Amino acid sequence: MCYRRSSLIRPLKFQSSPDCVGAVLQRKCFRVTKRKSFFRSKAVAAIFALISLLVGHACLPTPLSEGRGGVNITVYGFSIMKEPLERSIYPAFIAKAKAEHNIDIHFTSSFARSETITNQILQGVKAQIAILSIERDAQRLKQAGFVTSDWHNLPQKGIVNKTPFVILVRKRNPKGIHDFADLARPGIKLIHPDPISSGGAQWSLLAMYGSELVKSEKQTGGADSSRALQTLQAIWANVISTPASAREARTTFELGNGDALVTYELDALLMKQANAKADAEIVIPESTIFSEHPAVVIDRNVSAVDRPVIDAFMQYLWSDEAQRAFVKSNFRSSISDALSLENKELATIKYPFTVDYFGGWDKAYPDVIEGIFRDQVQKRK
């Protein structure tokens, strides 16, 4: 089995014919294009039978042509999706399809900033599935006609996983940073991804601004927007570097730059787990946002023949098996808090909130990202 990852604007193209199947499979890789030669009428009928199965079961199609041929699924994901997909979820789905239904499944993947992969799809790359950092990118794909199905009709309204935002500080926390508000103190050097290009950066802004709103509401009974604005302004004044993505920001911090980094909990844990000697500790804010990540089908790029397999993989993302794989990679499950508790590294958040606190992305982006950050924070710096 194999899955290919491309960092180019256009994904790798796959091609094959029945005559080369045996030789190619010996190399544990199979190339696929329009599948004209190996999807004969019987295979097409079999794969369409999946549609009725999907309604009640999230299962795979019945066997296609006795194992001849294969199906390629092209997935574009925002940067931090790489580990769980390539390490666990792709291999498990490939094995399940082969063992239970004798179908060869292969994946082409590309991972980058959420806005970048959205722009690539809008420019014509043939992604069939996109897993995005923010729903606003899914809305852009819908508005341009690339997504015609409603992802909100999927399990959990299309959210495949979630993770809270936390703070990475230097070992032994020499600056005494214990919450987002501490990042506003003079002399703090903060690494923060660029909100123009990074979905993670936009989540981070909502985390820092919303944290002060939530805490003031708990303390006084009313959300103090002036306090939240002043805190965000002071924090942003301490930003010394704005890498293009959350993953690049983590790399910048790993290289010894800055006193602190605001990032996804899962990325902070991955950094610590990859290097026990890393000069970093994780600080859990009293109140923080859970980023929620939607998966959408790029309907324009999905043929009628491929649709059942694409839908089967989409449904698989909400299976216990796939959700447990996300949890092992330090995401939180979108379907079960009990599954999330299986990972003892995941922190307890005292006052968690989601983008719904701001009225969803339809309100959060114009009101906070543009109205607060762009107009009252960024321009002021």
Give residue-wise pLDDT tens across range 75-95: 999 988 999 999 999 999 999
* Dihedral sign from CA coordinates of 254, 256, 257, 258: positive
Domain at 3-147+298-318, CATH class: alpha beta
Residue 255 identity = L
Full-model pTM: 0.81
pLDDT tens digit sequence for 249-278: 999 999 999 999 999 999 999 888 888 889
Contact 170, 278 (CB under 8 A): no
Least confident of 8-12, 74-78, 130-134, 318-322: 8-12
Cα–chain-centroid distance for residue 30? 27
The answer to whether 176 and 107 are in contact (CB under 8 A) is: no
Distances (CA, A) of 6 to 30, 72, 90, 228, 299: 16, 14, 16, 41, 21
CATH, range 162-292+347-378: 3.40.190.10
* Boundaries of every domain in the chain: 3-147+298-318, 162-292+347-378
Residue 196 has pLDDT above 90, yes or no: no
- Two domains, one topology: 3-147+298-318 and 162-292+347-378: yes
- Tell me which amino acid residue 230 is: Q
Determine contact, residues 131/151, Cβ cutoff 8 Å: no
Instruction: Please give the pLDDT value at position 381.
Output: 67
User: pLDDT at residue 23 above 70?
Assistant: no
Residue 259 and residue 239 in contact, taking contact as beta carbons nearer than 8 Å: no
What confidence tens digit (pLDDT) does each residue in 214-226 have? 999 999 999 999 9
| Both structure tokens of 360 | 């969803």
Indicate whether 64 pLDDT > 70: no
Section 319-336 average pLDDT: 97
Give dist(CA 83, CA 65) in Å, integer.
32
Share of the chain above pLDDT 70, in %: 82
Q: Tell me how crowded residue 145 is: count the other CB atoms within 10 A of its CB.
A: 10
Which tokens sit at 252?
């910048």
Pairing relation of β-strands 159-169 and 260-264? antiparallel
